[in-house]
Amino acid sequence: MYKPVDKSFFESPGLELAKQLLGQYIVHEQPSGLLVGRIVETEAYQGPEDQAAHSFNNRRTKRTEIMFGSPGLVYTYQMHTHTLINVVAGPVGTPHAILIRAVEPVLGHEVMRKNRGEHMREIDWTNGPGKLTKAMNISMDYYGHHWSHEPLFIAEGKKVEEIVAGPRVGIGNSGEAVHYPWRFHEKDNPFVSKYR
């Protein structure tokens, strides 16, 4: 039922791709079955000219190296104890990326509940970038993997009708970039992360 999207899906400019990802599915094939989440929130980071991006000023480090690669590669990084997942965007050599901030659980509810804690409400399993990777068993090991390949891939969903754009989350020290309206989410979806 879920098939990886074609590599060409990732060739749109970063801000466009950040919106196109809404409504698509993240699928993680596990021995216990499929874990599937529908993407409901993303944030775009526009590389060299975006002070909030890890690759601002074309900063090239062991961590950011993958962002200079082909669109559709997986960029993972650690924040505190959380793994965060991104889609590399833009042409090779242009280090843009899109953070996947929240998904709506679709398949694998029992595994997600176990991964996040029996006491936790479903609404809190995947409504944040570190929460969704924990719920869906996504680790740092996927750094450099391509989002069109199994066992972790993006599958085609339905286009989101109403998209809300606003400033990104948790980027306080990034000058004027703090105001860029590059966070996109499906209007009124309860699984969108809480904006602080």
Using the predicted structure, report yes or no on whether residue 79 has a pLDDT greater than 90: no
Show the domains of the chain with their CATH numbers.
7-186 (3.10.300.10)
Position 176 scores a pLDDT of 81
Distance CA(168)–CA(39), nearest Å, equals 16
- Going by pLDDT thresholds of 50, 70 and 90, the confidence category of residue 17 is very high
pLDDT in tens, 130-145: 999 999 999 999 999 9
Distance CA(128)–CA(194), nearest Å, equals 8
- Going by pLDDT thresholds of 50, 70 and 90, the confidence category of residue 195 is low
CB 134 within 8 A of CB 157: no
pLDDT in tens, 150-178: 999 999 999 999 999 998 888 777 778 88
- Going by pLDDT thresholds of 50, 70 and 90, the confidence category of residue 57 is low
Position 136 scores a pLDDT of 98
* Reduced 3-state DSSP string for the chain: CCCECCHHHHHCCHHHHHHHCCCCEEEEEECCEEEEEEEEEEEEECHHHCCCCCCHHHCCCCCCHHHHCCCCEEEEEEECCEEEEEEEECCCCCCEEEEEEEEEEEECHHHHHHHHCCCCCHHHCCCCHHHHHHHCCCCHHHCCCECCCCCEEEECCCCCCCEEEECCCCCCCCHHHHHCCCEEEECCCCCCCCCC
For tokens 């400033």, the residue is 167
Position 80 scores a pLDDT of 83
Position 99 scores a pLDDT of 96
What b-and-e string marks burial along 31-57, b requiring 16 or more CB atoms within 10 Å of the CB? eeebbbbbbbbbbbbbbeebebbbbbe
Q: What is the pTM of this model?
A: 0.94
Q: Which residues pair with 25 in a beta bridge?
A: 38, 155
